[in-house]
């Protein structure tokens, strides 16, 4: 399977078509609908015995015109790179207000009311550079993006600007999901690039009374139709037991969603193709999930239907690729300790392919609801050092993907599926 992937692999070409002919695939968009058609065709071409759609209603948020941000009152600092966070309300024209900088919610809560009311709160907590595993750094900073608008609005702020979730200094703001809560005012929320965040922080130290001007025309529309795309090859001996491989078909709208998560989708399709001629004992099902980025409606619908299947079909395991198309290093196993130990016993078989880092860990957002069925959830673990350079940013394009690394990921997924299919877990 590795030989086939490295000499005649289809992941890279499939990703080129998805990125260049369809592009960004935000839930509810016309591009998301085109991606569903692409997914059906790609799964059929990979040799799936059957392909079908699972409909679900998905959120429909639109960015509108490009956002603008401007710092007023600071020398050598004017226009700065910003983008609306996913789900934010717009500014209804121009929003201009003084700025107050904080790093944590606790620091915000400790400020006097007059320091926050009527201001734009600037959340400027960087991702921790000392973590070798970059996802730990993301987890330690992302709450300011998700809940920042809620916490700021409770104190009377009129808007929030959040430092991008990015470990390097550059001029590309990173979007991502944010949320509101009932009973708290909905205030505009934007991300600012890491370079501009550093500049704004420096300017505030010498000019604390500067003002920030923000323009955003984003809006939320009624829910729209969405679909999971599902294809499977039936098991040759134990077809009633299912192993899922998957990624999410939707992406944010600033780029092509190449690493997040076009890579995971094409790797899941490729795993199916690589396994087709080997007639695995158990049924292998590739799922291209809808709406991971801003709602997980696809994951919820797939789990709902899997529960309906439960009397006659058991979801033994699920493998998700949603950490970029970089060189695979192993797998994170989420399940009973004995399942982790069983998978770790296969390390000698995986070591020649450099994917033997098999540890207890997080499986994936889209497969997480399957835990209620006792499904072992597994996440493909690629080298994550460059992932947050492109995550949710305009830099997440096809050209940022290395063909060889991408193809290795699909082969790694197929290899683990084969071991599970033939040996159980």
Q: Catalytic one among 67, 213, 292, 407?
A: 292
Paired tokens of 358: 């098999």
Tell me how far CA of residue 309 lies from CA of 58, 240, 363, in angstroms.
Answer: 23, 10, 22
Tell me how far CA of residue 252 lies from CA of 1, 2, 169, 233, 392, in angstroms.
Answer: 32, 31, 21, 30, 6
The CA distance from 263 to 294, in Å, is 18
Q: Are 317 and 401 spatial neighbours (Cβ–Cβ below 8 Å)?
A: no
Collapsing DSSP to helix, strand or coil, 397 comes out as: coil
Active site residue 292: yes
Task: Give the DSSP per-residue string, 223-280.
Answer: EEEEEEEEEEE--SSEEEEEEEEEEE----SSS--IIIIIHHHHHHHHHHHHHHTT--
The CA distance from 324 to 384, in Å, is 8
The CA distance from 345 to 358, in Å, is 9
| DSSP β-ladder status, 357-360 and 314-320 | unpaired
The CA distance from 269 to 18, in Å, is 13
How far, in whole angstroms, is CA 312 from its chain's centroid? 32
Paired tokens of 275: 């396994």
Q: Are 396 and 390 spatial neighbours (Cβ–Cβ below 8 Å)?
A: yes
Nearest-5° angle of CA 384, CA 387, CA 393? 165
The CA distance from 72 to 75, in Å, is 9
The CA distance from 231 to 47, in Å, is 9
Collapsing DSSP to helix, strand or coil, 132 comes out as: coil
Cα dihedral 41→284→6→408 (10° resolution): 110
Tell me how far CA of residue 37 lies from CA of 230, 246, 260, in angstroms.
Answer: 12, 17, 19
Paired tokens of 366: 């889209």
Q: Which residue has the tokens 């795309």?
A: 229
Angle between helices 403-423 and 263-276 (to 10 degrees): 50
Catalytic (active-site) positions:
292
């Amino acid at each position: 399977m590795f030989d086939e992937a490295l000499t005649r692999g289809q992941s890279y070409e499939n990703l080129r078509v998805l990125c260049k002919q369809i592009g960004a695939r935000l839930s509810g968009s016309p591009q998301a609908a085109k991606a569903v058609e692409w997914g059906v065709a790609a799964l059929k071409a990979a040799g799936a015995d059957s392909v079908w759609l699972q409909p679900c209603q998905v959120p429909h948020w639109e960015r509108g015109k490009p956002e603008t941000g401007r710092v007023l009152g600071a020398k050598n600092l004017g226009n700065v790179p910003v983008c609306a966070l996913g789900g934010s309300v717009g500014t209804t024209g121009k929003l201009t207000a003084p700025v107050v900088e904080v790093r944590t919610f606790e620091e915000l809560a400790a400020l006097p009311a007059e320091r926050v009311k009527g201001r734009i709160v600037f959340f400027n907590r960087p991702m921790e550079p000392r973590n070798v595993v970059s996802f730990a750094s993301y987890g330690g900073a992302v709450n300011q993006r998700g809940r920042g608008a809620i916490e700021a609005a409770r104190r009377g702020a009129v808007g929030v600007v959040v430092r991008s979730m990015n470990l390097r200094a550059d001029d590309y703001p990173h979007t991502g999901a944010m949320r509101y809560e009932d009973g708290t005012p909905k205030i505009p929320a934007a991300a600012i690039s890491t370079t501009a965040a550093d500049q704004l922080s420096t300017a505030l130290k010498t000019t604390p009374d500067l003002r920030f001007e923000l323009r955003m025309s984003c809006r939320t529309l009624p829910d729209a139709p969405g679909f999971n795309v599902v294809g499977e090859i039936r098991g040759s001996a134990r077809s009633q037991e299912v192993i899922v491989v998957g990624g999410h078909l939707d992406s944010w709208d600033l780029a092509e969603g190449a690493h997040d998560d076009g890579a995971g989708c094409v790797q899941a399709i490729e795993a199916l193709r690589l396994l087709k001629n080997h007639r695995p004992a158990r049924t292998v099902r590739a799922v291209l999930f809808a709406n991971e980025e801003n709602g997980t409606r696809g994951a919820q619908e797939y789990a709902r239907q899997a529960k309906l299947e439960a009397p006659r079909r058991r979801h033994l395991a699920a493998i998700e690729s949603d950490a970029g198309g970089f060189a695979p290093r192993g797998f994170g196993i989420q399940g009973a300790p004995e399942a982790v130990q069983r998978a770790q016993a296969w390390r000698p078989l995986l070591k020649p392919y450099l994917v033997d880092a098999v540890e207890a860990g997080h499986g994936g957002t889209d497969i997480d609801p399957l835990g209620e069925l006792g499904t072992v959830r597994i996440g493909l673990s690629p080298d994550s050092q460059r992932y947050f350079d492109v995550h949710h940013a305009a830099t997440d394009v096809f050209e940022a993907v290395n063909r060889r690394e991408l193809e290795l990921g699909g082969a790694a997924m197929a290899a683990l599926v084969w071991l599970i299919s033939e040996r159980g877990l």
